[in-house]
Amino acid sequence: MPNPGSAMVMEAIQVVIPARDERQTIGHVIDQLRHQGFERIRVVDNGSRDDTAAIARQLGAEVLSEPRPGYGRACWRGCHQLDPGVDWLLFCDGDGGDPIEELPRFLELLNDHDLLLGDRTATAAGRATLTPLQQGGNRLATTLIGLGWGFRYRDMGPLRLVRREAFEAMDMRDRGYGWTLEMQVRAIELGLRIREIPICHRQRLAGASKISGRWGASVRAGSVILTTLGRLWLRRWC
C-alpha cells in the first residue's frame, strides 16, 4: 500500500459523519478532514432542525438525509451506494470532539488491521472528556464483552476505521446507540484484526450532547448496552 496520506489511500476511504443539529461544529470537522487529505466526506443529516446540512453542502461534502432518529440508522444510511473504489469506512462525530489530526497514525496501520478504534480512555486528555456516566457505561460494556466473548476492549468511542469487506461481513442490524457496541462484538466473532489507538479526545466544540450529561439519556444508553449485548449473545448461540 502507498504511504499513509497519499492520494491513493485517501481515495479509498469513505468518511461517514452522522449529524443532528451540529451547525456550529460541522464546518470545523469538514475543514479538518480536508486538511488531512480526506476527499470522500459524507454527512448524514439525522433530522436536524438547523442548517447543518446546508453548511456541509456549501463546504463540498456529500449530504444524505436520514430523517428517522437513530445514531446507527444514520451511520447505516451513510454506508449505502459506496463507490467501488472505497476500501475503508471512517466514522467520526460531527461535534468536533474527535481528534482528526491524529488520523495519520490510523492510516499507518491499515495494512495489518481490519478495525482501528480511537481509545479515549488511554490518554489523560481523553479521560477528562468523559463524564462519570460515560466512564461507567464504558466499563460495563467492555467488561461484559470480555466475559461473553473473551476480548477486552478499553473504549466504545465513535472514531473508528473499518475495512469495507469486514464491515459488510458484520451484517450490522442495530440502528440506535448500540451500533458501536455491535460493531465491536461482531469484529470479535469474525476474528478480525483489531487495534485500539490512544487518542486525545476533547470536549465538543459547541452545542449540547445528545447523551453525556443528561441523566435520562444516560440511563437509556445503559439500557441499550444491556439489551444490545443480550441480543448479540442470543444471536450468537441461536
Q: Find the mean pLDDT for residues 134-159.
A: 94
Residues contacting residue 129 through CB under 8 Å, at least 6 positions apart: 97, 120, 201, 202, 203
Residue 219 scores a pLDDT above 90: no
Establish if 108 belongs to a structural domain. Answer: yes
CATH number, domain with residue 13: 3.90.550.10
Q: How confident is the model at residue 1 (pLDDT cuts 50, 70, 90)?
A: very low
Cα dihedral angle (40, 189, 178, 209), rounded to 10 degrees?
-50
Q: What is the mean pLDDT of the chain?
A: 92
Taking the C-alpha atoms of residue 62 and residue 68, their distance in angstroms, rounded to an integer, is 19
pLDDT score for 214: 56
Establish if 147 belongs to a structural domain. Answer: yes
Establish if 37 belongs to a structural domain. Answer: yes
| Helix (H/G/I), strand (E/B), else coil: 66 | coil
Number of domains the chain is built from: 1
Q: Report the residue count for the chain.
A: 238
Q: How confident is the model at residue 20 (pLDDT cuts 50, 70, 90)?
A: very high
Q: Find the mean pLDDT for residues 95-116.
A: 97
Establish if 81 belongs to a structural domain. Answer: yes
Taking the C-alpha atoms of residue 6 and residue 10, their distance in angstroms, rounded to an integer, is 6
Judged by phi (left if over 0) then psi (alpha if -120 to 50, else beta), residue 13 lies in beta
For 7, the enclosing helix (H) or strand (E) is helix 7-11
In 117-238, which ranges are continuous DSSP H helix?
124-128, 132-149, 164-170, 179-189, 215-237
Residues 40-83 have pLDDT tens digits of: 999 999 999 999 999 999 999 999 999 999 999 999 999 999 99
Establish if 1 belongs to a structural domain. Answer: no
Taking the C-alpha atoms of residue 27 and residue 25, their distance in angstroms, rounded to an integer, is 6
C-alpha of 203 from chain center:
16
Establish if 2 belongs to a structural domain. Answer: no
Establish if 158 belongs to a structural domain. Answer: yes
Question: By residue range, what is the domain housing residue 20?
Answer: 7-237
